[in-house]
Amino acid sequence: MKGLTLTVIFEASSLNYGETVGNISELKKLTRDGEVYTYMSRQALRYEVFRKLRELYNVDADKEVPLSDENGTTQFKPTANIKDYVEVDLFGYMKTVKGKGSFTRSAVVRFSPAISLSPMAFDVEFGANHDFAKRAKTKPKPFQFEVHSSLYTYTVAIDLDRVGVDPNDGIELNGTEKARRINMVLDALKILDREIKGRTENLSPLFVIGGLYPVKNPFFLGRIKVNYDRNQRKYSLNTKEIESVLSLKLNGNSVKDYTSCGLVEGFWVNEDYIIQNLNGKTISDFFEELKSKVNQHYNVRRET
């Protein structure tokens, strides 16, 4: 039994809107410890990862859309299977087969919401598009958006034993294809972005930590905190909780034995400490190391 998990920190602004009340668009938010934080839902993260997979590797783009609402619920068609559709393999499905009933397969790649690491102050952007109104010789129509710029963190957990395996359809893919699919996801996470409200937000990691483990656990979920140094105008990573997780024992080894991390150089106040004590390296080297471990797990001798 092996699981892959990694936890990411990135910097972005106003990532996910919920209800619109009148002309005000509200951000998705939650309350914790008396403070309000914004978040990007796991469904939105799943959407962006799949969009990036199509952009980078043309995943499933040349095939018929495998969805249908014939039964009153939008779900995958009975013919959609993990061999033909990478999306079905990675993110799970529910489908109804006539005469046999409904079948489900839970997601192999699972996301937590991306939650802001600093509380929001309920800033609002006001606009009216005066240029369009003037050119159209009409009155401006004011609008307002809640805005929040912050560091965000999310965790992804991948069940390596279930990739490319579906008992419902009696399908199991070979190790090379399993590794290829997971490594494509890692490539997408490395350069992830989001298009929203006419702008593009960079979701690629400023810090990432994780690895392949003999147990399936999102070790660093909820263990990420940062502090802001006003003098240097930079963030520092709170490493105390991370190091406590790294000291946990697994079958005679520690979590640290399976873990590495990557960081963007020049961003963190305590960059040297992270490199020396958390096995820190560049973002690119972190993902290449993880892809190599995925290949080893599936007995793939060369990069896929």
**Region 203-225: what's the mean pLDDT?**
97
pLDDT for 143 = 77
Task: Give Cα 275 to chain centroid, integer Å.
Answer: 24
pLDDT for 13 = 96
142 or 8, which is more confident: 8
pLDDT tens digits, residue range 16-27? Answer: 998 777 778 899
Q: Are 77 and 94 in contact (CB under 8 A)?
A: no
Please work out, in degrees rounded to the nearest 5, the angle formed at the alpha carbon of residue 228 by the alpha carbons of 40 and 266.
90
**Region 53-64: what's the mean pLDDT?**
93
pLDDT for 302 = 62
Share of the chain above pLDDT 70, in %: 99
Instruction: Inform me whether the pLDDT recorded for 101 exceeds 60.
Output: yes
Share of the chain above pLDDT 90, in %: 76
67 or 227, which is more confident: 227
Under the banding of pLDDT at 50, 70 and 90, the label for residue 28 is very high
Instruction: Inform me whether the pLDDT recorded for 233 exceeds 70.
Output: yes
Residue ranges of domains in the chain: 3-297
* DSSP classification of residue 254: E
pTM score of the predicted model? 0.92
Q: How high is the mean pLDDT of the chain?
A: 93
Task: Give Cα 291 to chain centroid, integer Å.
Answer: 17
pLDDT for 136 = 76
Task: Give Cα 155 to chain centroid, integer Å.
Answer: 7
Instruction: Inform me whether the pLDDT recorded for 198 exceeds 80.
Output: yes
Instruction: Inform me whether the pLDDT recorded for 216 exceeds 60.
Output: yes
**Region 128-142: what's the mean pLDDT?**
77
* DSSP classification of residue 28: P
Instruction: Inform me whether the pLDDT recorded for 245 exceeds 60.
Output: yes
Instruction: Inform me whether the pLDDT recorded for 303 exceeds 70.
Output: no
Under the banding of pLDDT at 50, 70 and 90, the label for residue 123 is confident
For 239-243, the CB contacts below 8 A with 24+ separation are: 239/270, 239/273, 239/274, 239/277, 239/278, 242/209, 242/278, 243/277, 243/278
Under the banding of pLDDT at 50, 70 and 90, the label for residue 304 is very low
pLDDT tens digits, residue range 164-174? Answer: 999 999 999 99
Of 227, 91, 210, 199, nearest to 154 by C-alpha is: 210
